[in-house]
Amino acid sequence: MRAAAFELERATMTKDVTRFAPSPTGFLHLGHAFAALFAARAAQDSSGRFLLRIEDIDLTRARGDFEVAIDEDLAWLGLSWERPVRRQSENFADYASALDRLKTQRLIYPCFCTRREIASEIAESVLAPQGPDGPLYPGTCRNRSSMEREERIESGEQHAWRLDVERCTELAGSALTFNESGLGPRGESGAISARPEIFGDVVLARKETPASYHLAVVVDDALQGVTLVTRGNDLFQATHLHRLLQALLDLPVPRYRHHRLITDASGKRLAKRDAATALRALRAEGWTAARVYDELGFTNR
């Protein structure tokens, strides 16, 4: 009887679409294994779908051999995912059209500042507010005339595109929320009010990378039909901004479940440059996939 009730509950539950979205800029380590298993389990628990997305938008750092290694490592963990896999480098047109939409609404503006100019302006200012990704852009290019902007773009001057966050918040309203069913770094959960202004006028595109992580991720999650975003809580703050972008671009809003980060014995978060916990290094040392599950607190189903 109880089993039948469980089956019924399961059948009426949302079948979640989750994803694991690594950047092929190094070998996967135990932290990635945790994130991948977490996403795959969330899909399995709802009889849903698990997707893989290769976040190779930064063409200067992404490498084909790392992508091959991702495939091998995930298969070794016993995971399977739908194919074809979405690769950001093959979808620049999607990000460009999202950017165009924001341009048409004058929600983004061209910024001609060099990194050095921004740094010196910040160093001189008494009040230099910090955001999750570092000090906020001081707004130098926000109020240039359309004529100046056009002339400088036409003359071929390099520029980035920045979100005019104040204008965007006015348009989208201040009542945006997102649903967090995991735990943010300060224990945040439930319906969270989005505060995209913590990022200031964030860059959405640069000459060398035509879409930032923030822009690409909201476009990809929408196009892939992701209903539950699971990821490390180092990206919890980014969700504030993602929620605003979803509102501006009229995209469906997934639910979020951020998870803990895996640390080493000294409590430091694992990084790609520490080769010691790379899955392939552990494998070479004789670790089995079962041992990885065990180490990370997953039961081997």
**Residues in contact with ligand GLU, shown as a per-residue x/- string from 52 to 91 under the rule CB under 6 A:** ---x------------------------------------
List the x/- string, 189-228, binding to ligand GLU by CB under 6 A: ----------------------------x-----------
Nearer to ligand GLU, 28 or 111 (CB): 28
What are 29's strand-pairing partners? Answer: 278
Residues 33 and 292: beta-carbon distance below 8 Å: yes
- Which CB contacts under 8 angstroms, 24+ apart, belong to 34-38? 34/259, 34/262, 34/296, 35/230, 35/231, 35/232, 35/259, 36/74, 36/77, 36/79, 37/77, 37/79, 37/293, 37/296, 37/298, 38/230, 38/259
Residue whose CB is less far from ligand GLU, 111 or 270: 270
Beta-ladder partners of 53: 86
Triad 299, 295, 61: Cα angle to 5°: 110
Considering the rule CB under 6 A, would residue 243 count as an interface residue with ligand GLU? no
Give the C-alpha separation, 239 to 57, whole Å.
19
- Least Å distance, CB 235 to ligand GLU, is 5
How many CB atoms are closer than 10 A to CB 94? 18
Site for ligand GLU in 14-43 (CB under 6 A): 21-23
Q: Which one of residues 79, 118, 122, 235 is an interface residue with ligand GLU (CB under 6 A)?
A: 235
> Considering the complex, what minimum distance in angstroms separates the CB of residue 36 from ligand GLU?
11
Residue 274 CA, distance from chain mean position? 22
Q: Tell the smallest beta-carbon distance from residue 37 to ligand GLU (Å).
A: 14
Three-state DSSP class for 35?
helix
- Residue nearer to ligand GLU on the CB measure, 22 or 138: 22
Q: x/- binding map, residues 149-188, to ligand GLU, per CB under 6 A?
A: ----------------------------------------
Binding site for ligand GLU (CB under 6 A): 21-23, 55, 217, 231, 235
